[in-house]
Amino acid sequence: MEIVCKNCSKKYRIDESKLPKNEKVYIKCAGCYQKIAIEPVSGDEDPPPKPSKDQAERPGVSTQPNPSRPAEYFEPGTRAALVYCEDVQARLEMEKNISNLGFEVRSINNREDARHHFRYNIFDVVIIYQKGPDPEKNLLDVLDYFNHLTPEIRRKVTVIYIHLAGNRFNLLEAFSKGVDVTLSPMDLTNLQEMLPVLLEEKNTRYRIFTECLRKVEEAVL
């Protein structure tokens, strides 16, 4: 099934076999965040074709979901955060602080978890926490997934990498790791105060980028 956002005309292909029968569902448009209604699917329709190999390999693009993991859709305007952290105490502290700011928080354990969540929603914040001096392979795989999101999606996601040598003001290090900012584990005690500031800093950077791009396009035309 192909659906089109009435607000921005962005198109999506949905696997009808995974939709509930005789029940209207909603998804959030990745382009403009408007709610898209999907009308009930009758039980006698043929399933749509499977996505191409190219589609299946593109991060951030919806592919066949795992039937054992139900889809989750947030209402338009919902602020959401993903947390990757193998240290239970640190993860609980982060989840509590982020939830206090009004975010829906979900934890992930691996790259496939990240892919699953981004099939249905674009998360405003992703926090990746490194336990110990060296990153484990699982963490690097998760980091690689977010590094390869499409530019349109990646601009909307603030990726925060927490590790022992993290430094909020070292933008060169953050750039080299493909994230927006790096923090130290010591910053966790102030995360609730720091997060709104970090989000606003990213919004400001991309406002400047968008304005410059617009002026360049006007000059070319």
| Tens-place pLDDT, residues 61-113 | 444 555 567 788 888 889 999 999 999 999 999 999 999 999 999 999 999 99
Instruction: Give the pLDDT confidence score for residue 68 in this predicted structure.
Output: 62
The ranges of the chain with pLDDT < 50 are 43-49, 51-63
Give how far the C-alpha of residue 202 lies from the chain's centroid of Cα atoms, to the nearest Å: 15
Shortest CA distance to 159 belongs to which of 138, 131, 128, 187?
128
**Buried b / exposed e along 2-41 (16+ C-beta atoms within 10 A):** ebebeeeebebebbeeebeeeeeeebbbbbebebbebeeb
The pLDDT of residue 58? 44
Which of these, 105, 61, 108, 111, lies nearest to 79 by C-alpha position? 105
CA dist 220 and 212 (Å) reads: 12
DSSP-assigned beta bridge partners for residue 84: 108, 128
pLDDT value, residue 67: 55
- Residues 6 or more apart from 214 whose CB is under 8 A from it? none
pLDDT at 15: 72
Sequence ranges of the chain with CATH classification 3.40.50.2300: 80-208
- Residue for token digits 């995974």? 18
Does 80-208 carry CATH code 3.40.50.2030?
A: no
| Rounded Cα–Cα distance for residues 146 and 62 (Å) | 15
